[in-house]
Amino acid sequence: MHGEYKVPGGKLVVVDLEVAGGALRDVRVAGDFFLEPDEAILAIDAALEGAPANTDTAGLAARIEAALPDSTVMLGLSAEGVAIAVRRALARATEWSDYDWQLIHEAPQSPALHMALDEVITAEVAAGVRPPTLRVWEWDSPAVIIGSFQSLRNEVDPAGLERHGVDVVRRISGGGAMFAEPSSTITYSLAVPQALVSGLSFADSYAYLDDWVLEALADMGIKAWYQPLNDIATEVGKIAGAAQKRVVGPDGGPGAVLHHVTMAYDIDADKMLEVLRIGKEKMSDKGTRSAKKRVDPLRRQTGLPRQVVIERMIESFRKRHGLARGSVTDAELARAEELVRTKFATPEWTARVP
């Protein structure tokens, strides 16, 4: 069995192993990380040898840490990263390079249609009729997008929405509310087979699916990192938030994962505070008193036009994983438009949690 895991902000860990009698055998750990002393790599292999195959990530990491020499120095590597690579080998996880990735980047569309397209495209990936897809959104109007389980009345201010002509839509993933304006927001979705994140915890999958964008930001001079559970941050503030939805495949098969991210290219903080109800409790765990200080836009940090930032992100993905230009098919669009009519544009869905 073969497993790979790119440690977020670090290096690639590769594990090859066999399972015999319910235990790990012939374990070999490799990668482009840095490790001192040399014999530490043998200690890692030995620590994993004979471990029960059902040992979880924490248990495997504990075995590794207990076996390492006191003088061990790991750069781009961690015991947890090795353990995750083991779990991915055991789960027979796929890798980014196993797929032919498709890009969808089309003309501006309505907020409700974007919600519907996420559902349709992810369902098609789950069914195996569409390749894994990166979809970069363009907005035709401003919107507040609330999480699947958020209370409508708790999250938005009706007077502010009316004053600024902002729509409210509810997405199928959890997480918090987002304020999006066409020229100030960069949003993308990844619809990927469940096998790509096999062996990863729900939390680890967030960082794993966005490691490519951290490298794209680094190429633009921004040192960013994942701030658990679902924020992308820099030393001067948050720049993005992510959310996920797991979709079961046909007949209960493995299915697919929808992972979407909204990034602040620019932001009208005063308007945001007029349309969103951002409570004191939410601010209390962020270490700041002001919502305005929580977000530091990409425009200020990069000095680049929005379209250039998007183009560089797409090119970074293409260089790492390959990416062919695609489009929403007529059939997909028709299904999405039907979902807008019957679900995403209806009061019943938008106010399903009043």
16 with 161, same domain: the answer is: no
Phi then psi dihedrals of residue 92, to 5 deg = 55, 45
- β-pairing, 167-170 vs 143-146, is parallel
Say what the pLDDT of residue 334 is: 98
Residue 243 has pLDDT above 90, yes or no: yes
Say if residue 85 is in the same domain as residue 222: no
CA atoms of 108 and 122, how far apart (whole Å): 20
**Do 12 and 136 belong to one domain?**
no
Indicate whether 282 and 307 sit together in one domain: yes
**Over residues 175-180, mean pLDDT:** 95
Examine the domain organization and report whether 84 and 116 are in the same domain: no
pLDDT at 280: 42
Q: Do the beta carbons of residue 262 and residue 180 sit within 8 Å? A: yes
Tally the domains of the chain: 2
71 pLDDT exceeds 90? yes
Instruction: Single out the residue in 90, 120, 151 at which a domain terminates.
Output: 90
Q: How far is CA 17 from CA 7, 28, 33, 112, 155, in A?
A: 19, 6, 19, 47, 49
- Do 172 and 31 fall within a single domain? no
Instruction: Report the first-to-last Cα separation within the chain, whole angstroms.
Output: 49
The domain that holds 155 is classified in CATH as 3.30.930.10
**What pLDDT score was predicted for residue 294?**
54
> Do 171 and 313 fall within a single domain?
yes
Q: Give the separation between CA 146 and CA 96, rounded to whole angstroms.
A: 30
Whether residue 104 sits in one domain with residue 60:
no
Tell me the pLDDT tens digit for each residue of 121-132.
Answer: 999 999 999 999
Question: Over the stretch 133-153, which tens digit does the pLDDT of each residue have?
Answer: 999 999 999 999 999 999 999
Domain that holds residue 37: 2-90
What integer is the mean pLDDT of 243-259?
92
Summarize pLDDT for 189-212 with one digit per residue, the tens: 999 999 999 999 999 999 999 999
pLDDT at 89 over 50: yes
Same domain, yes or no: 243 and 321: yes
Q: Is the pTM of this model over 0.75?
A: yes
Residue 279 has what pLDDT? Answer: 52
d(C-alpha 192, C-alpha 248), whole Å: 12
- pLDDT, residue 229, reads 86
CATH number at residue 83: 3.30.390.50
Here the tokens at position 47 are: 């620590």
Q: Give the integer Cα–Cα distance in Å for 59 and 65.
A: 10
Q: What is the pLDDT of residue 9?
A: 83
Strand 256-264 relative to strand 231-234, pairing: unpaired
Last-in-domain residue among 40, 75, 90: 90
Across the chain, mean pLDDT equals: 93
Residue 251: the pLDDT is 84
Looking at 73, 90, 107, which one is the last position of a domain?
Answer: 90
| Under 8 Å between Cβ of 96 and 134 | no
Give the list of residues 6+ apart from residue 183 with CB closer than 8 angstroms, or none. 265, 266, 306
Indicate if the pLDDT at residue 332 is higher than 70: yes
Same domain, 64 and 113: no
Q: Are residues 196 and 131 in the same domain?
A: yes
Mark whether 86 and 102 lie in a shared domain: no
Q: Give the whole-angstrom CA distance, residue 276 versus residue 157.
A: 6
**Average of per-residue pLDDT across 280-288:** 44
Look at residue 231 and tell me whether its pLDDT is greater than 80. Answer: yes
The number of angstroms, rounded, from the C-alpha of 230 to the middle of its chain's C-alpha atoms is 8
